[in-house]
Structure 1
Amino acid sequence: MRLVRDREKTLRERLKQARLAAGLRQVDVAEQLAKPQSYIAKIESGERKMDFIEVLDICMALGLDPCELTKELTN
């Protein structure tokens, strides 16, 4: 099994990729979540960890299927 920090890094990278693929800026996602832009920046940089509900909210804002994301992180 991969280390926790490796999966956390993969999660951050995958969320950023999804954001960029959707053509969204950090501020666009943050506005959907009623958060400051720095919230997304800190998540993407690894400065801030997310809880499960936050991951789900970000997935919804990005149009990303959380089930598919979970599969990626568990393989």
Structure 2
Amino acid sequence: MRKARKQANLTQIQLAVLLDKPQSFVSKYERGERRLDIVEFLEVCHRLGADPHKIINELERQDSNSS
């Protein structure tokens, strides 16, 4: 998710404003301190202009590489 945010040229603060959330919301899920539910995940992807399928596929590849 951090990679997608950076590709969108947004800071955590800018994304938080778009999501109407505090900056700590973005920081916590990027650091793995908080998980996003599916509705939140899709909203973040929408605000980033990111394809949720691509992000999920990348996460799956990372997970299989770490096994």
Percent identity among equivalent residues? Answer: 43
Taking structure 2 as the reference length, the TM-score comes to 0.81
Q: Give, in angstroms, the shift of residue 71 of structure 1.
A: 2.7
- Which runs of structure 1 show a deviation greater than 4 angstroms over 4 or more consecutive aligned residues? none
Taking structure 1 as the reference length, the TM-score comes to 0.73
- RMSD between superposed Cα atoms in Å: 1.2
Corresponding residue number in structure 1 for 2:65: none
Could you tell me which runs of 5 or more consecutive residues in structure 1 were left unpaired when the two chains were aligned. Answer: 1-14
Kindly provide the CA deviation profile for residues 2-39 of structure 1, in whole angstroms up to 9, marking residues without a partner as x. xxxxxxxxxxxxx1011111110001111111000000
Q: How many residues align?
A: 61
Question: Which secondary structure does the structure 1 equivalent of 2:21 belong to?
Answer: coil
Could you tell me which runs of 5 or more consecutive residues in structure 2 were left unpaired when the two chains were aligned. Answer: 62-67
